[in-house]
Structure 1
Amino acid sequence: MKKQVFILLFVSLYFQGFSQFFTENSTKKIQKGITKYQGYFTFYYDENEDKIYLEIDKLNTDFLYVNALSEGIGSNDIGIDRGQLGGGVVVHFKKAGNKILLVQPNLKYRAITNNIEEKKSVKEAFAKSVLHGFTIKETKNNTYLVDASSFFMRDAHGVANTLARNNQGNYSLDKSRSAFNLERTKAFPKNVEFDVLLTFKGKPKGYNIRSVTPDATAVSVNQHHSFVELPDNNYKPRSFDTRSGGYAMSYLDYATPVNESITKRFIYRHRLEKKNPNAKISEAKEPIIYYLDRGTPEPVRSALLDGGRWWNQAFEAAGYKDAFQFKMLPENADPLDVRYNVVQWVHRSTRGWSYGASISDPRTGEIIKGHVSLGSLRIRQDFLIAQALQAPYANNNANDDFALQMALARIRQLSAHEIGHTLGFAHNFAASTNNRSSVMDYPHPKFSLKEDGSINFSDAYDTKIGAWDKVTVAYFYQDFPEGKNEAEELNLILESATKKGLKYLSDQDARSQGSASSAAHLWDNGGNIHDELYNILKIRKKAIANFSADNIKTKQPYSVLEDVFVPLYFFHRYQTEATTKLIGGLEYSYAVKGDNQTIVKRVSGTTERIALQAVLQTLNVNEVAIPEEKLALFPPRAMGFGRTRESFKSKLGVAFDAFSAVETAAEMSLNLLLNPQRMSRLIAHKSLSESQLGLEELIDELTNKTIKKTHKNKYYQELQNVINTKVLEQLFYLGANKSQYQQVNAIVLYKLNDIKEILENKKSNGVQIIYNKAMVNMIEVYLKNPNSHKKTLAPQIPDGSPIGN
């Protein structure tokens, strides 16, 4: 009993030290070991206990809670990056007995009405979430003091779950090795920021976590928490239109009349208003300002600033003067401080994606903070591509400025692209087939051959904002004069874009290998997709013919030369993917009733056949064989320069494997061409018009260009056998597939009998007789029980995208 009295007395005396400073407006040490931070929420740090005590003086007042990572792990595969944002959610504090609850209301379901009871009925119908409960330590004048340490010192970002999901091991938070990071714990009038070093203990399983930590049993990262005042009610949400090039913020409004959609959709955008809405050109009341990470080195720094500033071209076209600005981040500013839109330079152990994220008001879609993460190794891949295409190191010289300039051109485009996401814009993967109309596409470097046979690098990447980007800025940010009907003006912007021939298609139309869009592709070029594939193949062939030891610097091991050769050998991979989509393809748009866009129509049979011949060229031994004389350039890997996932794979142990390179390239093309969804579309389209390319015709052409081919050159003939085996493997897979039309299975099985007969009757001699008989046997075994076949995979293709898994 005496012990309990002593503890109560100690606690009472301890918190008297806080109560006397409840009303003092300052940030300073108030007694030994205790520092007060005055801001949107006042809090105290007690260094004796490494604890945060929070003053709560705003009950039932909504604010924004955001978590993020201020320091990451550095692995692209794991995905726990420095500067990575978590969700931004609306929360409020609510008193319940001797506790304060942090409550997240459910904003997915609402009732926009003046009827209080109707609002209440929806609120009570759906669950809310209580994120944390705080025990009240002291109360004074409706202000409550709580120990908030456990709320901040937790795995809010889900690091342990991410590690487990990626098979890197089972980890748990070790609070004895965790602590508050005061350097990034700060208070401001409209936001307070808390930073915590968290250590996760566990048994590592995967290579990735071992590769990026000094001791993989103890993984330490920094998580960041922000409490932010929500914007005022003067922001006006703008309606989402599927044609507008943005993302939809949506919720269900149960107060909606029955004859209208219950789902309300609005765009995400920054608040931007003209000082003079009636002026054709006006400054903004508050410009949109972005800041670049001070840790970005030159010449990348200047390139990023140049590219990001392209957006001002679009804002000027929408009637603003200097409304978009891009500057260096002020010294000592925290990149995660919500007051700053930031482009952050992020390092990882391997090449990886860049991305643009944002914190927005979940009530309205207003963007509060844009945050871009740019992978620092991205520039090196573009440099490598240029280095592979044109040997810059002849005669011990380093004539590689052209490669640097091309890589910097890509960085400018990347800066504009990722900032575009944080302005509210979605990918436009139709832009590359539409005169490079948007920086929101994934651009492949565009090259041409000069008259002297050398490669022209001058037009590799665009140097400005695109025509489509001006449309999205106008739709999102145009400030209309008083008296104008906003809905009508917004529709005019989009209809005008259609009349100009601008196209917009996004991720779902481009990312799947079996997608049907004739226009939406990743890493492609050209209005005529198949023509650009032929162009890519010509450039690739020329560069391979010129490839030599001059593609690397003097004194570098030849293992590096092999690495330089990889992106050149697979240089055609993305244009091949784009071209295959013309086969069984569709031309369509995000049409709405009343506009003049193409709703949907089939790609013509003529175009399909042209595309097929272009794709079959990627299975031509003359195209994909590594020239015999080049094989002498690739010895076994040198000590300290072993193979990586971006290297050629080998079935020859330490030796370079030219056969496996061809096998991998062939499998890539065949996987794309003989996609089950694509083959089913051929059946459907052929039933509607005899002029369309049919599956039987496709297989016959594939057979003519592969199985029926013979070569006098023994090396080429062996490579042909490699390709032919992959053709059979892909047809076997297709013939047994259950996720396609049954007609596809029937035709494939029928054609395999034809191929068997061709092989049986094929004139051959020597070892080729053995190979042909083996392929005949493969077909016979397969036809007895197609469902028992297990596809033999080629060596994995080295990582390709992001150019710029």
Structure 2
Amino acid sequence: MPKNNYKPRYDDTRIGYFTTQTNHMTTLDRVNYRDFINRWNLIKKDPSKNLSEPVKPIVWWIENTTPYELRDIIKEGVESWNMAFEKAGFKNAIIVKIQPDTATWEAGDIRYNVLRWTSSPNPPWGGYGPSFVNPKTGEILGADIMLEWSYITRRVYEDDLFNDFNENTLNQYCNAGKYQQIETSLGIDYIKAYDLGSEMEKELIKQSLYRLVLHEVGHTLGLNHNFKGSTLLSTEELNNKDIVNKRGVCNSVMEYPAINITKDIKNQGLFFDIKPGIYDNWAIEFGYSQFNNEEQEKIGLKKILSRSTEKNLAFANDALDMRSPGKGTDPNAMIYDLSSNPMEHSLQRINMINNILRELKEKYTKNNDTYQELYRAYRTLVYSYFNALEIVSRQIGGVHIDLSHTNQNSKVKPFESVSLENQQKAMDIISKYGFSNKVILQDDIFPFLQSQRRGFSVSEDPTIHQRILTYQNRLLNHLLHPKVLLRITNSQLYGNEYLLPNYMIDLRNSIFKEDFNSNISTVRQNLQITYIKRLIKIIDDKSKYDNISQSTAHYNLLWIKNNINTNTGNLSSRQHKDYILFLINSINNI
């Protein structure tokens, strides 16, 4: 471990740094946390100046295997962080060099901070930025960033889009590269659909790589994720290129945002951020500002942190995000989202995807020998469509979280339920676009969704029913999650007006009402049977659901049993309803 005058800085809940956790073992306080933030040991050459170069800057080396045409983009992306360090009083805090071809050291040498470049046959990520620290102080001693060629080629694993992601929610695991690949692919589909040209496509890829580098470098500076970063601008502002190009897309490059695609093609601004956001500047100011003594540090940090209640500095890390069903409570702390009104933005995205799908076959069969690109584009679009609905679903049972401290006298309560209006609106959107017969179906595309044969791999039926049901199940995983149903009931005690019995009836209606006594499409049959089976599991004696959730599930099963008419509809629909009754009647004592 280095012997120097490095002084640890204590963590604060209002701002997001990786930490070295320690406990004060002799204090009488019940909360004895003494966690240090992880940061580099930057010291001003001239402490008397407001802006000074550091004694020892953070030096990054671009590995000499990196393609020449990408080196400048990567270099500029890394050095963009210098703008944030100027807020902390440092000039040229970060320096980027190219590893010489004649270098006698390997890129894996821990004495050097290296931006590695790889092209793996089965890449586990598009980018990843680990670092290592002094376990006694939190001082960052070194770091590497892994960048994958697959990120540029956008080789997304389609099976990951179809099957359930294994969402790793560990606080120090980063999926930014993987998620941003999908968003970039959606952007390419948008550009192709509207014939916006190769130059815009190149610009999109450039911005995407720029932002990936910014994100991973941010991790190596000590910053963890900020999943409220996407709430910086309203949907209207995001559709204004002048505002976006001036203020940025998000308040932080440590977010996993949706790509910014405007409603009006002529008003397209930035797709992704290309410099640190306002939150990033604030976080670096907190972590790296230098003070002459402890008293000045105490006063200075208090002043910096007092700004945490500003809307533009909204923050929530992995501990609070809602990426997985049942995880988190605050719908503003979500991944893949954008806008201070995520429901409005999700609707805009759904409409855009529907428009792209209408022209998809023509655009992707014109200059391709096989249907592989059409197949890939369709899967990406359907995934993005349902992901927009997952973002909407988090409003239901949602509880906004405020992290301000008591001495800030915030007008916002630590826990505030999502309004009744927004929860009901979310239910309406899911009902219309996720569960109804208007769910995304493109009959003219289905016969052409053929993956390219390779060796003995077989291009099989595109399994549309299973694909749609998989995504509908993802919605139900959250909408009927035991934690969500329990929270709906618990939050009644502090403001939630969307009562569980009413919500469960609305959910039932969204799945059954449209065709209760008429012909039922096979897509809806799949959904209804899945829903019934879920309710049956809820009322099982061994289930993890609370009593009130079980009683509402029981009520809705009884209602369906007593009201379903097995004599209406075509043969398939009648058989389907007979099976639903069979499932319900198979329950003891119902």
- 1:351 deviates by 4.8
1:220 maps to none
How far apart in 1 are the matches of 2:257 and 2:28? 45
Q: Taking structure 1 as reference, are residues 483 and 636 closer, same or farther at Cα in structure 2, changes over 3 Å only?
A: closer
Work out which of the residue numbers 348, 351, 356 in structure 2 matches 1:543: 356
Structure 1 spans left out of the alignment, 5+ residues: 1-229, 644-652, 787-805
2:246 alignment partner in structure 1: none
Structure 2 CA distance, aligned partners of 1:431 and 1:286?
31
Higher deviation after alignment, 435-444 or 701-710? 701-710
What is the CA-CA distance between 1:529 and the residue it aligns to?
1.6
Identity %: 24
Mapped to 1, the partners of 2:33 and 2:491 lie a distance apart of: 35
The alpha-carbon distance between structure 1 residues 386 and 519, as it changes in their structure 2 partners (threshold 3 A), is closer
1:749-796 deviations in Å (ceiling 9; x for gaps): 111111223322774233321212122222222x3289xxxxxxxxxx
- Conserved in 2, the CA contact under 8 Å of 1:562 and 1:634? yes
- Check 1:346–1:733 CA distance in 2 against 1; reply closer, same or farther (3 A cut): farther
Of 300, 325, 338, which aligns to 1:513? 325
Verify the 8 A CA contact 2:539 2:550 in the aligned structure 1. yes
Aligned to 2:381: 568
Instruction: Indicate if the aligned counterparts of 2:20 and 2:37 stay in contact, CA closer than 8 A.
Output: yes
Q: 1:415 to 1:490 in 2, by over 3 A?
A: same
| TM-aligned CA distance change 1:267 to 1:629, over 3 Å | same
Match of 2:300 in 1: 489
Runs of 4+ in 1 over 6 A off after TM superposition: 711-714
Q: Which residue does the alignment assign to 1:666?
A: 472
Q: 1:609 to 1:322 in 2, by over 3 A?
A: same
* CA shift for structure 1 position 276: 1.9
Letter in 1 for 2:277: G
- Shift in alpha-carbon separation, 1:512–1:487, aligned structure 2, 3 A: farther
CA distance in 1, matches of 2:429, 2:582: 31
Shift of 1:470: 0.6
Shift of residue 270 of structure 1? Answer: 0.4
Instruction: Choose from 414, 419, 440 the match for 1:625.
Output: 440
Alignment of 1:244 with 2:29, yes or no, is no
Look up the SS of the partner of 2:142 in the other structure.
Answer: strand
Per the TM alignment, residue 468 of structure 1 is displaced from its structure 2 partner at its CA by: 0.5
Cα distance in 2 for residues equivalent to 1:277 and 1:761: 82
Match for 1:536: what amino acid?
R
User: What pairs up with 1:710-721 in 2 under 5 angstroms?
Assistant: 710=515, 717-721=521-525
Query: Map of 1:224-373 to 2, 5 A cutoff?
Result: 230-254=1-25, 256-259=26-29, 262-331=32-101, 332=103, 333-353=105-125, 354-373=127-146
Q: Cα distance, 1:663 vs. partner? A: 1.4
Determine which structure has more spread, i.e. the larger CA radius of gyration.
Answer: 1
Q: In the alignment, is residue 449 of structure 1 matched against residue 219 of structure 2?
A: no
Please give the alpha-carbon distance, in whole angstroms, between the structure 2 residues aligned to 1:261 and 1:405.
50
- The answer as to 2:577 corresponding to 1:772 is yes
The one-character-per-residue Cα deviations of 1:16-54 (angstroms, maximum 9, x if unpaired) are xxxxxxxxxxxxxxxxxxxxxxxxxxxxxxxxxxxxxxx
More strand by share: 1
- Post-superposition shift, 1:616? 2.5
Aligned counterpart, 2:238: none
Q: After the TM superposition, which of the residue ranges 743-752 and 291-300 deviates more from structure 2? A: 291-300
Answer whether contact 1:303 1:408 (CA < 8 A) is retained: yes
Deviation at 1:259, TM superposition (A): 4.7
Distance in 2 between residues matched to 1:581 and 1:470, nearest whole Å: 29
C-alpha distance in 2 between matches for 1:641 and 1:754: 51
Deviations 1:341-379 (A, max 9, x none): 222123333353332111212221111112112233123
Match of 2:550 in 1: 745
1:220-252 CA-to-partner distances (Å, cap 9, x unmatched) read xxxxxxxxxx32231111111122211221234
User: TM (normalized to structure 2)?
Assistant: 0.84
What is the rounded CA distance, in whole Å, between the counterparts of 1:616 and 1:341 in structure 2? 50
Contact 1:513 1:577 in 2 (8 A): no
2-structure distance, mates of 1:455, 1:719:
38
The corresponding residue for 2:175 is none
Question: Structure 1's 776 and 282: CA in aligned 2 closer, same or farther, altered over 3 A?
Answer: same
The corresponding residue for 1:528 is 341
Per the TM alignment, residue 458 of structure 1 is displaced from its structure 2 partner at its CA by 3.9
How many angstroms apart in 1 are the aligned matches of 2:278 and 2:379?
34
For 1:484 and 1:679, the matched residues in 2 are separated by 48
CA distance in 2 between partners of 1:785 and 1:359 (Å): 59
Residues 186-213 of structure 1, C-alpha deviation per residue, up to 9 Å, x if partnerless?
Answer: xxxxxxxxxxxxxxxxxxxxxxxxxxxx
* Higher deviation after alignment, 328-337 or 432-441: 328-337
Cα pair distance change 1:466/1:261, threshold 3 Å: same
Structure 2, unaligned runs of 5 or more: 155-180, 234-249
The number of residue pairs the alignment matches comes to 538
Q: 1:636 to 1:250 in 2, by over 3 A?
A: closer
Q: Is the Cα contact below 8 Å between 1:350 and 1:377 reproduced in 2?
A: no
Q: Which has more helix, going by share of residues?
A: 2
Letter in 2 for 1:339: R
Post-superposition Cα deviations, 1:521-566, rounded to whole Å, max 9, x if no partner, equal 1121111121122112111111111111422563431134212211
| In 1: Cα distance, 2:492 partner to 2:470 partner | 31
Give, in whole Å, the separation in 2 of the partners of 1:703 and 1:239.
50
CA separation in 2, counterparts of 1:306 and 1:272?
A: 21
Residue 731 of structure 1, aligned match among 535, 538, 553? 535
Q: 2:369 aligns with which of 545, 556, 560?
A: 556
Query: Is the partner of 1:270 in helix, strand or coil?
Result: coil
TM-score, normalised relative to structure 1: 0.62
The CA distance in 1 between the partners of 2:122 and 2:144, in whole Å, is: 21
603 and 275 in structure 1: CA distance in 2 versus 1, 3 angstrom threshold: same
Structure 1 contact 351–378 (Cα < 8 Å) conserved: no
Task: Report the 3-state secondary structure (helix = DSSP H, G, I; strand = E; otherwise coil) of the residue aligned with 2:444.
Answer: helix
Are the counterparts in 1 of residues 57 and 94 from structure 2 also a CA contact under 8 Å? yes
**Aligned residue type for 1:389:** Y
In structure 2, C-alpha distance between the alignment counterparts of 1:636 and 1:474, rounded to whole Å = 50
Q: Which amino acid aligns with 1:297?
A: P
1:693 equivalent in structure 2: 498
> 1:380 matched to which residue of 2?
153
Q: Deviations over 1:261-297 (max 9, x none)?
A: 6542211110111122232222222222222222122
For residue 441 of structure 1, report the CA deviation from its aligned partner: 0.8
